[in-house]
Amino acid sequence: MLVPLERKVLNENDRIAATLRQRFQRNGTFCLNLISSPGSGKTALLERTLAGFDAARRVAVLTGDIQTDNDARRLARYGFPVRQISTGGACHLDARMVERHLTDWPVDELEILFLENVGNLVCPTSYDLGEEARAVLLSVTEGEDKPLKYPATFHHADLMVLNKIDLLPYVPFSMELARENARRVQPEIEILEVSCTSGEGLERWNDWIERHL
């Protein structure tokens, strides 16, 4: 007996993600999923972002890593609630991990929830976390061709953040080519250029976030 189907392989993940998304929307929480290779600056960008927020802002971070709570400790210094998700080997966050780490947290009162994914440009792509927007970071010490090498990740992103632009004088990185490659894979992608070291471009990043609130 042959049974034709159209069942999504990750339908259980998608179901939980849809529940999370409804919850975020109901409470007016802007949830952002941050994806990049290891070392592109996700944690640094969040550090600069949290450092710039007024203490009264209702902002929280879930940060994923395979091992250690180093990132959570880095981020906790800014006074906002931060939780580490140690995936224990998994190379991505999934919706169930997010759901589980939101229990007994004042999540329904949040304006912004940042989800810092595990550093990996492949696996996080497949997992909807219930986010409203997805940002992928690419630093200028990497190759401009990453959007072409990892099209799935860039195709599913709303925003590309080009980070470490303070290093441009020292590395053979073409901003033009990086932008062009990203737009080939995702013609509608928004692009921002920042340096978490010098602070250049962070105002536009903050504006981008505020626009989504």
Q: Which residues bind another protein (CB under 8 A)?
A: 1-13, 90, 92, 94, 122-123, 125-126, 147-148, 151-153, 155-156, 181, 183-185, 187
Q: How far is the CB of 35 from another protein (least distance, A)?
A: 11
**Residue 85 vs residues 40, 89, 110, 204: alpha-carbon distances, Å:** 19, 11, 19, 29
Of 43 and 153, the one with the shorter C-beta distance to another protein is: 153
Of 29 and 125, the one with the shorter C-beta distance to another protein is: 125
Q: How far is the CB of 176 from another protein (least distance, A)?
A: 16
Cα 183 to Cα 186: distance, rounded to the nearest angstrom: 5
Of 4 and 172, the one with the shorter C-beta distance to another protein is: 4
What is the three-class DSSP state of 136?
Answer: strand
Of 94 and 142, the one with the shorter C-beta distance to another protein is: 94
The two tokens of residue 165 are 């632009």
Q: How far is the CB of 137 from another protein (least distance, A)?
A: 17
Q: How far is the CB of 13 from another protein (least distance, A)?
A: 7
Edge-first strand listing for the sheet containing 59-65: 82-86, 59-65, 112-116, 30-35, 133-139, 159-163, 190-193
Of 5 and 213, the one with the shorter C-beta distance to another protein is: 5
Q: How far is the CB of 4 from another protein (least distance, A)?
A: 5
**Residue 74 vs residues 59, 98, 107, 127, 176: alpha-carbon distances, Å:** 16, 20, 21, 25, 33
